[in-house]
Structure 1
């Protein structure tokens, strides 16, 4: 099994919840997504987008 090398906290903030269960996760500190445009309001996810996230 391979080890995930991507930024785990960035993925947490993109999904909007603490996926990895770490207490140090930035989701607990920031309620907005990662990156330059993360503080913008989130648009509604389409049905297809919901299927992709599941």
Structure 2
């Protein structure tokens, strides 16, 4: 198994779900994505994006 080189809670917040199952995960406390521009709303997916 490979070692994660990226912060695992960043992945949680990017996807908007608690993947790792920890109750102290930041995704439970913050409704927005990670990073400098994380508080901006995500745009609506197109029909093609939904199909993917």
TM-score (norm 1): 0.75
Equivalent residue, structure 2, for 1:18: 18
Q: TM-score, normalization: structure 2?
A: 0.77
Root mean square deviation, CA, Å: 1.8
| Gap runs ≥5 in structure 1 | none
Residue 8 (structure 2) aligns with: 8
Cα distance, 1:8–1:50 mapped onto 2, change above 3 Å: farther
Runs of 4+ in 1 over 6 A off after TM superposition: none
Post-superposition Cα deviations, 1:12-46, rounded to whole Å, max 9, x if no partner, equal 00001101111111000000001111111111234
Larger Rg: 2
1:45 aligns with 2:50: no
Number of residue pairs aligned between Structure 1 and Structure 2: 51
Any unmatched runs of 5+ in structure 2? none
